[in-house]
Each structure stands twice: as C-alpha cells, then as structure tokens.
Amino acid sequence: MIRHLLSCCLALLFFTACSLQRDFAPQNSLAHPHGINLPDPSSIPYLDLHGEWSVRRDDGRAQDSLPPAPRVIGVPANWYTEGLDYAGAVLYERRFFLPKLSADTLLRLVFEGVDYEAEVWLNGKLLGKHTGYFQPFSFVVNEFVQFGAENVLRVRVNSPNEHPDNWSLRKRLVKGIFGHHDTRPGGAWSVRGQDANTGGIWGNVYVSASQSIALESVECTPLLDSTYTQSIVCLRTAIRSQSRKRVMMHFAAKDASGAITEHTPKECLLQAGLNVVYDTLRVHKPRLWYTHDVGQPHLYTLSTQVYDSGHTQTTKQAPLSTRTDKFGIREIRYDQNTGEWRLNDKRLFLRGTNYIGTQFLSTMNRTAYNRDAVLMLQANINAVRVHAHIARKEWYDACDSLGLLLWQDFPLQWGYADDAEFVQTASNQVRDMIHSAYNHPSIAAWCLHNEPPFDADWMQYKYPNYSPQQNAALNTILTRIASSLDATRYVHPFSATREHHWEGWYFGSWTDYSKPVTEHLVTEFGAQALPSLATLETILGEKPTLPSNDAAWKKWDYHNFQRHETFDFAKVAMGASVEEFVRNSQEHQRRVTELAAESYRLQRYAPVGAIFQFMFVEAWASMNWGIVDYMRNPKPAYDALREAYRPTLIASTLDSASGNVNVFVVNDRWQAFPKAHLHYTLEMNGRLVAQTHLPLLVPADAKVAASFTHLQEYGRYRLEATLLNDNGDTLSRRSKSIDYQPSRTKPQ
C-alpha cells in the first residue's frame, strides 16, 4: 500500500515538474516566480512599509522624477476607501531607511496584493511588473537598496475601467465580481457599472531579510492509503539562494495535540536563483480534516528549516531560513456520474451558499472573515462557493480552522477577450490562484468561469455581436492547466446557467422550486430582499420612503435593487408604506429560500449532491440577494435557511391533487438513529387537524419516508414536528406553513 502511495506521489510530482519551466518563468521582467505563496512576515525579520504613502494621478510613463504629491493615502488600502474615486494609474511613493546588514543577507521587497497592474521602482531602478489583483509577489532588491541612507520606493498602480470597446462582453481585466457583476455599485448593466474602482495597494508591503537564502513556498500534497491510517505528504519547496550552496533541509509536522512527525534532514545543492526541491513526509495515523458538521477540522503545522551543509542536531547551529505553513490531511472526491461528494471516503451532501465578503479587500481581516464564517456555521452551512473572485488569505485560514468546505471560483464573470494576449494573462493567473491557495484543506474544487458566453444563450439578446463559441477555447485551456497543477481536487470547467435556478426571479414562478431538477449541482438559487429600515436608511443616506419618481427609483437601482424582477416575476406587492414593502420583500425571500432548500434536500442524490444559496451577505451598501445585509444583520431568510439546512431535517411535501401531506426525515449525518421518535401536529386556524407519534428508524446519510396525512379541506395549515432520539433528546424541530388551495398544483 505504501508503494502505491509513493507511485501516486511520484506521478503528482511528475505533473508538477512538467510545468516548472512555465510556472516559474518571469513575467514581464518580474523578479519573482509565478504562483509563489510568499512567507508570513510575522515569522521572519522584516521592515513593514504600511502607513502613509504619497500619491498622485499618473497618466504618463516618465519615472525619473516625482512632482510633489497633492495628497497622502493609507497603505494597505483600496484607494476608493481612502476617498480616491478614480479609475486609472496612480503613482505611489514611500521613503524608508535600512541599516547596514551583513553581506550574506538576502533582501526581498514583498507585496501581498496590488490591484491591478504594478510597476515597481526602487531608487530609480525598475524592479519589474506584475499583473493581477489577488496574487502576492516579490523582488530581490540587494543590488538596488542603499544601506544607511534613504531609499525611495515608487509603485505605479494601474486599475483602469474596461475600455468601451471591450465593455462588457469582451473584458480584458481578470477581476471577476470586482469589475463586472450584479452586486457591484451601479449593478452589472448600467452606465455606472464600473463605479467605485477597486484599485490600489490593498495588501501589506514589507522588506524581508534572511541569511543568504529564502524559503518562498512549501506546497503540501497529502495522500492517504485505502485504510486512511497512513499518509504520505509530498512536499514541493521553492527556495531562493544568493549563490551556489549546499544546505540541509529539515521538515517537521505537528498536529494540534503536539504530536510531531519529523523528517530526516536532507542535503541539497542549491544553485543561484530559484530552486525547487521535492521530498516526502510520512504521517502515521493522521488526524484527518473534516467539515464542522461531521467531524473536526484537524490541521497540521509544517515547520521548514534550512541549515548550512553538515548541520547536526548537536551543533545547535541557527537556521539560515525558516517558515511555517498550515495544511490538512484529507481526501476529497467528486463523482460526476452520481453527483456524490466524498470526504475521506464518506459521502457528504453539500449545504452551501455563495459568498462575496466585500467589494474592497483591504476592509476585511481575520476577525471580519471569522464573523461571517461563524454566521454560516450557525446556519448549518457546510460549504461555500467563493463567487467569481479570490478573497484574502485570512478567509481561507478561517475556513480551514472552522471546517467549511470551499468551492473556489476563478475571477472570470461572463465575457472576455479571446486573443492570445488575454489567454496568456488568464493562464498565468490560474496558475497563481492554485499555487497561492494550494495548502488550504478547505478548498475542494476549482471552477474556471461563471456563466461564460458559450454557455449563456441569453447574451444573444443583449449583444448584437454575440458569438456562441466565445471563450470556449479559453475555458478548455484553463481547465487543462488547473487539472495538470492539482490532481487532488475536482476541476469544474465552468458554472453553467443550467446550474443556476432563478425560478420566480428571472423566469417562471417561485413555486416551481418544488419541481424536480436534473442537475447534480445547483450552484445558485435565491431571491432579493430589502434590508431592515435602519439599514436601508444607512444605504440611502436619508429616511427611507417609497420611491415616487424615476429619480428616486434610480437611486435604488444603483444599490442593486431590481424593479422588473421584483414586481413582474416575483410579484412582490409594494404596499402602502416602506415598512410594508420591506416586510413583503423579506417574506418573499424567506419562502423562496425555505421551499428551494427543502426541495433540493429531498432530492439528495436523486440527482442533487450540492446546493449553493445565492447570496450570503451583501458586499457593500446595497439591497440585493444577501440573507444577511451589509451591516451583518440577518434577514428572515437567514432563519429559513438555517431551518432548511438542519443536518437532520423534518421535511414535507403536499400533493395538491390528493390532499396528502407527506412527511420525511432527511439525515445528512454520518450517525444513524435506530430508535428515533417522530411527533407532529397539523393545525388550521388553531384547530388540531391531525396528530401523529411514531417510532422511526433513521439510517445515517439517508432520506426516510415517515408518514402522510390526508387533508379534508382547503386552507392554510401549520405543521409542528419534533424528532427525538431514544434518550428523548431533540434531534430536529420543524415549524412551517402548508397552503392547500384548489388552484395550486405544487406545494408552498
């Protein structure tokens, strides 16, 4: 069995080695390798360059001098959050002092995030360029710094709007929802859809210092044997050296209990420049990573140390370079034929949501991401689709620790250019995404495009120059790259329109959610709802009233409210007051969320294996699809989702033709309840219509038909149900309305 694991590991390393030349080739004179997951600045000596930087708009290219800046700006920050409402190029300047360091010190200038294009100069010398909003990047600066003197760092950041010739079908910027989306300021299709540009140095900037070498990344690939009691962790280390040098490398993995798995130190010959070193670490009886609803999200801390050659445990020599990385040991598989997800060889139904935490990455941190993740846990969510963008590293750290499974989208939203230059840009950034997020055990899948043109027939009605095959070749290339770089995760080529269920919002009626579906994956479903009056007042900047003219409606439109869908498809009544409108809107979202989630739960593995409600939070001061508003106040639909996502759910259906109410128990848990007891009542207008108490065998990971009641008369009924285990402990509760009307053919 271990021989089989080693062969798997070698195969994985072969795939990686085949792409090394491509992955680590400089881009546009860039002095860092593609996809490097840069070190945590808290673990190494460094000079933090956060604080006030001088800035000015820069429409030219001359860099030999910088006129006095008209203002200062905070770094890290998206410039819009600093009061700079601008799209285009901005020239940043920061001056800093470095003391004299030893001759063998390796200095790197590190950027954790710049949106979107960066050109970096140090003391008048061009260090290089970088393209892409989400990736960390760095430059070796030994030959450019001045020790014991002032250093001048200048960064030209260009975050333009899309050119009118490209907007919005053939975009050129890989920014996903940060460039074009329904939830952006101004919405997706208005002339103001590119407002509030996200440009700027939004991540930390610092100078790192190490002795002659630098550990730039360590990628961990855990492989498990068939018994799940042995693991081999394949290690791919990128290490930069100032010169040709022999070193000793040492790896040690520690779990949360303190148990340590060590690696016999290995001697390596490094060449000047970037080196890639492969090794393996064996872990006996690994503590596996699970989602929060079925187990514990166990994590390992990998310590990597590099010493001069000849180092032994008794010499007590200080390491030349160290770094720590978190990883988890788990196996995630998806069967495209059955729609089944398996986590460590056990079937797992994904109860998910779509997530965009913010429009401005600099405004989020680990605390803010933890807040959102905990709200998800409390709503019984076990999976999250990171919708058409890549979030900050702190989001993935939070999900690793809390046990949320992630479906990670690449930031392509709708249509993009198909020329060779854009294909190369997107290909480079797919590699960056996978390398930079590789170690996060929470990530279960990569998805390369959301609603691409070749799968969006509706575009033919919007764009006269629509081409049915637009971006098809691009998607094939990106899918192949992702599959070659990561053999341990499912690669979904694109999130298809057939996976997006918008009954009663963009088509049909909301009651159509009770109809059976044909897809294994439902990656979007939901409806809009207004926030509370207090939040609405914050959004509008005034006491809210019902819009009475076109100017007032346009203000709501700008904040993502969709009039046509609200009134013509959802048929939400505005009512006589804004208070009534809020109630009606929220009630519609609540009932849609309850019906859709419950219906999909009842279709588990026949054919549905994963569902993702749209959207969890509102990412800016808007009134859109979030079940939690932008101030993090839950709407009624949040409670509806929490109830419908209970791991053990009491569900019901109504057959309007016969008047039969059928009651089911859906159990997503890996635990069976052989001696459960189900008790439920049906009431109408306070009158008891039916009461049932019965013993029930509830298998693990199963759906059970429990009972049915025949309704004798039309009206609105109330179902109250409780499921107990054999000790009398409550496994699940359910309270819901059932509307039995002669005109209806499907349940509410």
**What percent of the chain has pLDDT above 90?**
87
What is the C-alpha end-to-end distance of the chain, expressed in Å? 53
Which residues belong to CATH 2.60.40.10 in the chain?
212-327, 648-740
533 vs 434: CA distance, rounded Å: 42
Confidence category of residue 16, pLDDT binned at 50, 70, 90:
very low
CA-only gyration radius of the chain, Å = 28
What is the arithmetic mean of pLDDT over 293-301? 98
What is the arithmetic mean of pLDDT over 18-31? 33
pLDDT at 67 (0 to 100)? 52
Assign 347 to helix, strand or coil.
Answer: strand
pLDDT at 314 (0 to 100)? 61
pLDDT at 61 (0 to 100)? 52
Which range has the worst mean pLDDT, 28-37, 490-499, 664-673?
Answer: 28-37
pLDDT at 20 (0 to 100)? 32
Q: With 80 as the cut, is the pLDDT of residue 409 above it?
A: yes
CB 403 within 8 A of CB 383: no
Element (H, E) at 673: strand 673-684
Looking from the CA of 538 toward its CB, the CA atoms found within 13 Å total 14
- By CB atoms closer than 10 A (0-12, 13-18, 19+), residue 331 is middle
pLDDT at 656 (0 to 100)? 87
| pLDDT tens digits, 375-398 | 999 999 999 999 999 999 999 999
Q: With 70 as the cut, is the pLDDT of residue 7 above it?
A: no
376 vs 383: CA distance, rounded Å: 9
State the DSSP string of 437-452: TTT-TTEEEEE--BS-
Q: How far is CA 739 from CA 342, 350, 429, 591, 692, in A?
A: 37, 29, 51, 12, 20
State the DSSP string of 35-71: T--PPPGGGS-EEE--EEEEEEE--S---S--PPPSE
Confidence category of residue 264, pLDDT binned at 50, 70, 90:
confident
67 vs 483: CA distance, rounded Å: 48
Q: How far is CA 344 from CA 307, 523, 561, 727, in A?
A: 36, 23, 42, 30
Q: How far is CA 469 from CA 414, 415, 456, 459, 473, in A?
A: 13, 11, 10, 12, 8
CB 152 within 8 A of CB 124: yes
The single-letter DSSP state of residue 633 is P
Selection from 130, 121, 125, 113 nearest residue 92 by Cα = 121
Q: With 60 as the cut, is the pLDDT of residue 23 above it?
A: no
Pairing of strands 383-386, 405-409: parallel
pLDDT at 451 (0 to 100)? 98
Q: Is the pTM of this model over 0.75?
A: yes
pLDDT at 743 (0 to 100)? 60
Sign, Cα dihedral of 165, 170, 175, 180: positive
Which residues belong to CATH 3.20.20.80 in the chain?
333-644
Which range has the worst mean pLDDT, 9-23, 45-59, 163-177, 646-660?
Answer: 9-23
What is the arithmetic mean of pLDDT over 134-151? 96
Confidence category of residue 518, pLDDT binned at 50, 70, 90:
very high
Residue 267 identity: E
Q: With 60 as the cut, is the pLDDT of residue 68 above it?
A: no
Assign 694 to helix, strand or coil.
Answer: strand
| pLDDT tens digits, 646-699 | 999 999 999 988 899 999 999 999 999 999 999 999 999 989 999 999 999 999
Please count the residues of the chain.
748
Element (H, E) at 94: strand 88-98
For domain 333-644, the question of CATH label 3.20.20.80 is answered with yes
What is the arithmetic mean of pLDDT over 172-180? 98
Residue 360 identity: F
Q: With 80 as the cut, is the pLDDT of residue 26 above it?
A: no
Assign 575 to helix, strand or coil.
Answer: coil
* Mean pLDDT, the chain, integer: 92
Provide the token pair at 673. 């309840």
Sign, Cα dihedral of 415, 421, 423, 427: negative
Q: With 80 as the cut, is the pLDDT of residue 18 above it?
A: no
Confidence category of residue 28, pLDDT binned at 50, 70, 90:
very low
pLDDT at 160 (0 to 100)? 97
What is the arithmetic mean of pLDDT over 348-373? 98
Residue 352 CA, chain-centre distance (Å), reads: 12
Q: With 80 as the cut, is the pLDDT of residue 59 above it?
A: no
Neighbouring CB atoms inside 10 A of 220's CB total 22
pLDDT at 38 (0 to 100)? 53
Structurally, what CATH architecture does the domain formed by 648-740 represent? Sandwich (2.60)
**What percent of the chain has pLDDT above 70?**
91
Q: With 90 as the cut, is the pLDDT of residue 65 above it?
A: no
Pairing of strands 149-159, 117-122: antiparallel
Element (H, E) at 583: helix 578-602
pLDDT at 70 (0 to 100)? 72
328 vs 282: CA distance, rounded Å: 14
pLDDT at 316 (0 to 100)? 72
Q: With 50 as the cut, is the pLDDT of residue 713 above it?
A: yes
Selection from 151, 66, 64 nearest residue 107 by Cα = 151
Residue 10 identity: L
pLDDT at 60 (0 to 100)? 62
Neighbouring CB atoms inside 10 A of 126's CB total 14
Structurally, what CATH architecture does the domain formed by 31-161+197-209 represent? Sandwich (2.60)
Provide the token pair at 599. 């219906």
The single-letter DSSP state of residue 410 is P
Which residues belong to CATH 2.60.120.260 in the chain?
31-161+197-209
Q: With 90 as the cut, is the pLDDT of residue 19 above it?
A: no
9 vs 222: CA distance, rounded Å: 9
What is the arithmetic mean of pLDDT over 234-242? 96
SS3 content of the chain, % helix, strand, coil (to 5): 20, 35, 40
pLDDT at 46 (0 to 100)? 79
What is the arithmetic mean of pLDDT over 468-475? 98
The alpha carbon torsion through 61, 63, 67, 71 (nearest 10 deg) reads: 80
Q: With 50 as the cut, is the pLDDT of residue 560 above it?
A: yes
| pLDDT tens digits, 604-617 | 999 999 999 999 99
| pLDDT tens digits, 94-130 | 999 999 888 899 999 999 999 999 999 999 999 999 9
Q: With 60 as the cut, is the pLDDT of residue 233 above it?
A: yes
Residue 339 CA, chain-centre distance (Å), reads: 21
H-state helical runs in 486-571 = 533-540, 550-558, 563-564
pLDDT at 45 (0 to 100)? 61
Comparing 707 with 570, the larger pLDDT belongs to: 570
CB 556 within 8 A of CB 547: yes
Q: With 60 as the cut, is the pLDDT of residue 434 above it?
A: yes
Comparing 8 with 685, the larger pLDDT belongs to: 685
Confidence category of residue 153, pLDDT binned at 50, 70, 90:
very high
Confidence category of residue 12, pLDDT binned at 50, 70, 90:
very low
What would the CATH number be for the domain defined by 212-327? 2.60.40.10
The single-letter DSSP state of residue 358 is -
Confidence category of residue 14, pLDDT binned at 50, 70, 90:
very low
Strand partners, 273: 241
What is the arithmetic mean of pLDDT over 206-213? 94
The residues near 483 (Cβ < 8 Å, ≥ 6 apart) are 491
